[in-house]
Amino acid sequence: MTGGTREESVQPNGGIEHACGVIALECDDPGDAGYWTRVAAARERSSAGFALVFFSSARFAPGIVTNALSQACPGLRYAACSTAGEITRSGISEGNLIVILFPADRFRIAAHRISDIRRAGMERIVAQVGEAKRSFVAPGSAVRISNTFALCLIDGLSFAEESVTAALHWGLDDIPLLGGSAGDDMRFGETTLILDGEPARDAALLILVETQVPFHIFKTDNFVPTPDKLVVTRSDPDRRIVHEFNAAPAAQEYARVIGMDPQSLSPMSFASHPLVVRVGGEYYCRSVQKMNPDGSLSFFCAIDDGIVMTVAEPAGMTRTTRAAFDAVRERIGGIDFVLGFDCVLRRIDARNRQVTHRIAAIYHENKVIGFNTYGEQYLSMHLNQTFTGIAFGLGESDRSGP
């Protein structure tokens, strides 16, 4: 496929073909048998060698997805994960299945499973990633490194994203990393990862990609710290549960600081009043997942006794999101499409503030495809309430990276 600088086009099979030859197909009906026929036709047209698959496990049973894909596209390698919502070319929604096909002549891709991540330990993961990198990158090939990036999909209920992300980053060294934590439609029961038909839990999928298509990795958030502080005085770090803030019951103290009744706390409250920690002069979100029956709070990110959290307020989501995409477009000279990992709490907050249509319009304008996560990975950090993405430019270049 030639790619060049042509614009995206809608194919007869219903997929969106981008200038670089990537084709994305979406489905919102589990009973649409013709969808897999369209996927097969798109695979043949694009000569795809690899696919990313994002799906709502509440609507699309993982076993049915793997069986249908193996029958439609025998021999196609793919990595898949369940979501907490999807970003399609039709908008921001829930209950969808997305297949993204990458042509083999433009993208060289290898994928690896890292198992048992709760107990693996940093040393073992670093060694495994280092071996994967050595087998993927030719020795002494600086050009190949400069055109390589890594994606990771991680079990969003593993409580291990921070350590795994740090180990991945360490093992990859000069290869930039980004990705998202798998979700389960806000049920907080069990997420699903799949590599080439094999399901994996308590795992991470590492996907190495080399391409001559120009790309740029970026992130954006929109929270502003306030003077209000909450100190973790009693917690269960292994389960990411805070029992007490400021020596008071966690939910009660959090609600008091943000001016709400504890019984009224909900995902909307947590999205509208995120908690952040300061690391190296920058603030990073440590979002609340849910309130537990005993008044404790479960988090999406690592916590521990003694951590000082600052209450923040989201501000200007539309403005900051548009500015981030404008900066990316200026840097790479036009956006072909963006693979995006967007925190589910951003989606909730956008809905609460009635700006979903504006954010969706920005995503549509910049051709974003992706999913809502239980956390985002960016270089060495596991983040919350952030959009992380990789933008692919028009044409070919050997300049790349974050």
Segment 17-31, tens digit of pLDDT:
999 999 999 999 999
**Quick one: pLDDT at residue 18?**
94
In this structure, the answer to whether residues 246 and 298 fall within a common structural domain is yes
pLDDT digits over 294-308, tens only? 999 999 998 999 999
Residue 163 lies in a domain: yes
The answer as to whether 282 is a domain residue is yes
Render pLDDT for 255-277 as a digit per residue (tens, 0 to 9).
999 999 999 999 889 988 999 99
Q: Are residues 202 and 109 in the same domain?
A: yes
What is the number of structural domains in the chain? 2
Whether 402 is in a domain gets the answer no
196/130 Cα distance (integer angstroms): 22
Same domain, 70 and 102: yes
Residues 131, 207, 140, 379: is their CA dihedral positive or negative? negative
CA 186/CA 73 separation, integer angstroms: 30
Domain with residue 233: its CATH number is: 2.40.30
Q: Give 8's pLDDT tier (boundaries 50, 70, 90).
A: low
Evaluate whether residue 3 is within a structural domain.
Answer: no
| 47 and 169, same domain (yes or no) | yes
Give mean pLDDT, residues 126-148.
83
Band of the pLDDT at 14, cuts 50, 70, 90? low
Which residue, 265, 285, 314, sits at the end of a domain?
314
Q: How confident is the model at residue 139 (pLDDT cuts 50, 70, 90)?
A: low
**What is the residue type of 150?**
A
Contact assessment for residue 324 and residue 307, using Cβ atoms and an 8 Å cutoff: no
Q: Considering 282, 314, 346, which residue would you say is the last residue of a domain?
A: 314
Instruction: Answer yes or no: do 115 and 206 share one domain.
Output: yes
CB within 8 Å of 179: residues ≥ 6 apart: 150, 151, 152, 153, 154, 341, 376, 377, 388
CA count, 13 A, side-chain hemisphere, 238: 2
2 located within any domain: no
Residue 332 within any structural domain of the chain: yes
pLDDT of residue 275: 93
Q: What pLDDT band is residue 111 in, cutting at 50, 70 and 90?
A: very high
Say whether pLDDT at 142 is over 70: no
User: Does position 2 have pLDDT exceeding 60, yes or no?
Assistant: no
Dist CA 156 CA 182 (whole Å): 5
Residue type present at position 92: I
Residue 306 confidence (pLDDT): 95
Examine the domain organization and report whether 142 and 45 are in the same domain: yes
CA distance 321 to 319: 6
Let me know whether 255 and 329 are in one domain: no
**Residue 3: is its pLDDT beyond 80?**
no
Question: What is the helix, strand, coil percentage profile of the chain, to 5?
Answer: 30, 35, 35
pLDDT higher than 60, residue 198: yes
According to the model, what pLDDT value does residue 398 have? 40
Say if residue 85 is in the same domain as residue 197.
Answer: yes
Q: Quick one: 243 and 331 in the same domain?
A: no
**Does residue 85 sit in the same domain as residue 187?**
yes
Measured CA to CA, the distance from residue 187 to residue 202 in angstroms comes to 17
pLDDT at 7: 59
What integer best gives the mean pLDDT of the chain?
91
The pLDDT of residue 223 is 86
Domain that holds residue 265: 223-314
Predicted TM-score (pTM) of the model is: 0.89
Mean per-residue pLDDT for 103-122? 94
pLDDT bin (cut points 50, 70, 90) of residue 105 is very high
Tokens of 295: 């008044």
CB 99 within 8 A of CB 183: no
Backbone angles phi, psi at 251, to 5 degrees: -65, -40
Pair 324, 297 in one domain: no
In a domain, 134, yes or no: yes
Residues 167 and 214 sit within 8 Å (Cβ to Cβ): no
Verify that 73 and 28 share a domain, yes or no: yes
Instruction: Give 313-370 pLDDT, tens digit per residue.
Output: 877 899 999 999 999 999 998 999 999 999 999 999 899 889 999 999 999 999 999 9
Residue 399 in domain: no
Q: Answer yes or no: is pLDDT of 45 > 50.
A: yes
Task: Find the mean pLDDT for residues 158-165.
Answer: 93
Q: Which of 178, 170, 186, 127 is nearest to 153 (CA)?
A: 178
Domain boundary among 314, 338, 368: 314
Give the rounded percent of residues in the chain with a pLDDT score beyond 90: 79
Give me the residue label for tokens 């055109």.
147
